[in-house]
Amino acid sequence: MSGGEVTRWLTVETPDGVSARFPLNQEARTVGRATATDALDKIGVAGDPSLSRQHFVVEVRGDKLAVRRCPEATNPIYYRSLETEAFTIAPGDHFTAGRSKFGMMAGPAARPKATPTELILAPDQRQSLRAGRAEQCLRALTELLPRMRNASGQAELFERAVELLRGLLPRNTEVAVVAPGDPVTCLAGDQFPASRGLVRTALDGGQTVQHVFDEREANYTQVMGVHWALAAPVAESFVLYAQGFDAGANPGEEQTVLVDLIGEALSHYLVASRVQQIGQFFSPKLRPMLQGAGFDLLLQPRLLDVTLVFFDMRGSCRTLEQQDVATYHHQLTELMTRLSACVFERDGIVIDYIGDALLACWGAPVEVPEAATKAVLAAASMIETSLALGHGCGAGVASGQVMTGQVGAAGQFKFGVVGQAANQAARLEGLTKIFGVPLLITGVTRARLADSVPCRYIARARPAGMDQEVELHEVVLPRSFGGTELTAEQIAAFEGGQRFAEDPVSQALTRLPSLDGVLDFQRKG
């Protein structure tokens, strides 16, 4: 064939009588049963379970097509009624793989279409289309909202939305909620290989995309019989995806509006759930992040350098014995509310409330300048607040690298930290009872503190349950805070006795006040 550009296709007819053709280029293409995890360059054939996922490879060679059976293929390939591993066919020839009939055809390259195959739904178009279909939109939302409220989690939420959308779209339509990746993952609904390019376009632009597949294109995943697809972004991380198999029923405005509307409703619901679940742990200054673009990325596991404060109230068991549960609960709620304010005022976040204890963090999910200093000052403020309410307490502060991100069950937005620094902070809080001081920090934390924060080195110790020793430092607080209120001279004398043999410890100890808990501990030793 001469006189112009030639397009070559792989043709297929499946056992159920469905026919399709796939354009070929000069690159080798794998052909097999369509699955939800297909690679972008694979030709997926639906409707024939006897085909293997990777059944054979085709490659254009001049005006012919080379065919080679994949080693992992379960069933043979028959060419001219003979079982054959590799062969070459010309236009008009056919062969059988599984229960499907394949062939090659060639013809003049089609002219570009005058109309675009892809439409991105801009905000002004969205409002205009919805206004013209207000009744359909209202009916869809009326059915969707109770389904969302009664969903037990994210997975059920997606399944219910997919179920509703299936009933609103034409027949021969598949619907799923998918997550981007290589390959795209179907989280709910029908399992099919969604187009990675289309999913990425919807998420990157934050807008619904309608695509009518041109059989000449190779930018998007090709699956037999798929003629159009709609992709609506859902809360920055997911996509509501619908695809149709009827070439004569491309998505109309009503279908586009419904997919877009339900996708946006899911987005708002997920963001609201996120704010409800995790918003209490963030300061008012940081809460807008929960609704902003990119917050899902902050929930991904990351190794960050942070400073952590572990605070614990003392004598809670005795207090609970002396009061009724309702009174104790009210007092504990008031205390935790005020302690959280101490954290938020210094740019920290609350990681968790653990009974009458609290774990706070500086440096995640966003960087905090002077994190160690802010954390220590917040811990001192928490101690002052607790004592003012009549509750004894202690706090430990540690710094270092931890793994941060979403923890807990899938779909539950809870930000957590895992690492040695978290364990050290908790262990140091326990040691405050032994040393008789309200606030202990590690040597790593002290090295990062501003010079204006008075500290003294106490000792190297190996906390219970840990293999490595930790440098213990006291943050010197006023006696009204339960601290030792040491002067700079007294701190220097003690540290000199601890660190240097030429200044005996016994001489250094005589310079300290008699009400020093650390001194009492050492004398007992």
**What pLDDT digit, counting tens, does each position of 68-99 carry?**
999 999 999 999 999 999 999 999 899 999 99
Predicted TM-score (pTM) of this structure: 0.57
Verify that 218 and 161 share a domain, yes or no: yes
Verify that 231 and 380 share a domain, yes or no: no
Q: Is residue 146 assigned to a domain? A: yes
**35: CB partners within 8 A, 6+ apart:** 44, 53, 191, 193
Verify that 218 and 319 share a domain, yes or no: no
Verify that 465 and 436 share a domain, yes or no: yes
507 confidence band (pLDDT: 50, 70, 90): very low
Say whether pLDDT at 2 is over 50: no
- Number of residues written out for the chain: 525
Q: What is the CATH number of the domain that holds 475?
A: 3.30.70.1230
Q: Is residue 295 assigned to a domain? A: no
For residue 87, give its domain range: 6-108
- Which of 276, 311, 345 delimits the end of a domain? 276
Verify that 307 and 432 share a domain, yes or no: yes
Verify that 178 and 92 share a domain, yes or no: no
CA distance 307 to 368: 10
CA distance 427 to 289: 32
Per-residue pLDDT tens over the stretch 320-355 = 556 677 887 888 889 999 999 999 999 999 999 998
Per-residue pLDDT tens over the stretch 414-431 = 778 999 999 999 999 999
Q: Is residue 507 assigned to a domain? A: no
Verify that 412 and 474 share a domain, yes or no: yes
Burial class (CB in 10 A: 0-12, 13-18, 19+), 66: middle
Q: Is residue 474 assigned to a domain? A: yes
- CA torsion, ordered 364, 365, 367, 369, to nearest 10 deg: -50
Q: Is residue 1 assigned to a domain? A: no
Verify that 406 and 456 share a domain, yes or no: yes
Q: What is the CATH number of the domain that holds 79?
A: 2.60.200.20
Per-residue pLDDT tens over the stretch 100-138 = 999 998 876 544 443 447 778 877 777 877 887 788 888
- CA torsion, ordered 419, 425, 426, 432, to nearest 10 deg: 160
Q: Is residue 499 assigned to a domain? A: no
